[in-house]
Amino acid sequence: MTSATGIYIDGTWHDVAEHRENINPSDHSDVIGLFGRAERSAVDDAVDAASRAFPSWWRTSPQRRADLLEAVAAGITTQADDLAHLLAREEGKTLPEAKGEVMRAAHIFRFFSGEALRVVGERQASTRDGVTVNLVREPLGVVGVIAPWNFPIAIPAWKTAPALAYGNTVVLKPAELVPASAVALARIIHEAGFPPGVFNLVTGSGSVIGDAISSHPGIAAVTFTGSEPVGRRVAATAVARLAEVQLEMGGKNPLIVLADADIDIAVECAVNGAFFSTGQRCTASSRLIIEDSIHDRFVDATLARLAQLHVGNALEDATDIGPVVDERQLETDLRYLGIARETAGSEVHGGEVVERATRGNFLTPALITGARNDDIVSREEVFGPVASVIRVADYDEAVTFANDTEFGLVAGICTTSLRASEDFQSRSDTGMVMVNLPTAGVDPHVAFGGRKGSSFGPREQGAHARDFFTQTKTAYVRP
């Protein structure tokens, strides 16, 4: 019999009336578990618990908060293999990718364990004689976390860890597709010994639980990662009541390959960035912008590399690319590939549904040649193993095409020219730039975020996270 899991509020697990099956995208016969579909009232209960816990948690010593966060990091590390297996089952990442994500979550909690001890302020003289000015950082209160499905443990970690480190309390809503990894994280947080109410987990649909978090008057700040349309709705709801908002949304990220590039490096950057993790990353290289003189050579080499990759069950050692996360996303991917096939001048290589020993959502990588920068598939985020190859005359046209998008998360360039590298870092209208590296793949200790339709509000991760998770207070003192 498949076990049912409830929601975690005020240090206790509570059952709910309705549950949803969590299905393995590599094997539809594998039901990972039944997970609670809570009602809006559960958010009220979670916010009440978090509000009660906030005053004492804020006043808890930084060392105590640091120790608890370190305990979570240790717990994740100890259970890393089991967590990776669980993550691969529910999201479809290959086991190596899943293990990498799990360890990233551990590293994030460890980093913010240190940050809990580094909440510094300022002290300086006033313009008035005999007056001193003190500037301190304080937590916001209850933080609502709305996480996506593509990084089931890393993104909840990189939002929850800084919130807790700086003295906030948390209500987390994971994506309904991938609740098991968030439940596992909640259990580790519980075992670490956090006081009741400091961390709360409410699972359920985005339209119910996500909306309740965005609109709840007791939640001081909302941090969201997901699609741009949903992010805009979250912002509109939260900002209307003057809550702080942080959004990480879509991307249509370019990778420029110049004629002077090392072709082997360029191909690996393109294939890794566009197709690993089944292309289900907001940082994926979905537009490959190739200088004319090496276009054909690049395409041939990329297709040869893709032919070496095996699409299959995420738990099998031979698998390079796992399944699409669910049938709905697979239908989206196929719809965009249909549009590409009907677009004059375009040719789709790959992009075929394949059968394996188990019934799953298996789609081969799709490389679209003959694409233009204004094609639908070059403009809209597909969020699957699909990349358009766009031919350009020279470097200047490549930069123009790269910036011609409503998104601005990350951009990459492959070149051996230091001049082009430095120039592109300046001219790229994105929050992040990669040189001779895949666009997907960032470090947890530095700022993450984009521009335009990709991000809104202060940056995530690293020391910059305190810009969102704390507020400043200025005190003027005459002794």
Residues recognised as catalytic: 248, 282
DSSP per-residue string spanning 348-395? EEE--B---SS----B--EEEEEE-TTSHHHHS---SSEEEEEEESSH
- The Cα–Cα gap between 449 and 417 comes to 26
- The Cα–Cα gap between 114 and 265 comes to 36
**Which residues does 232 contact at the CB level (< 8 Å), separation at least 6?**
none
Backbone angles phi, psi at 227, to 5 degrees: -75, 160
Report the relative pairing of strands 7-9 and 12-14 from DSSP bridges. antiparallel
Cross-strand pairs, 353: 363
Three-state DSSP state, 398:
helix
- The Cα–Cα gap between 246 and 234 comes to 10
Report the relative pairing of strands 347-350 and 285-291 from DSSP bridges. unpaired
Helices marked H in 250-370 = 263-275, 295-307, 327-342
- The Cα–Cα gap between 349 and 306 comes to 10
- The Cα–Cα gap between 408 and 413 comes to 15
- The Cα–Cα gap between 408 and 253 comes to 7
Angle, in degrees to the nearest 10, between helices 418-427 and 395-403? 30
Residue whose C-alpha is closest to residue 136's, from 479, 478, 476: 476
- Token duo for residue 165: 């480190």
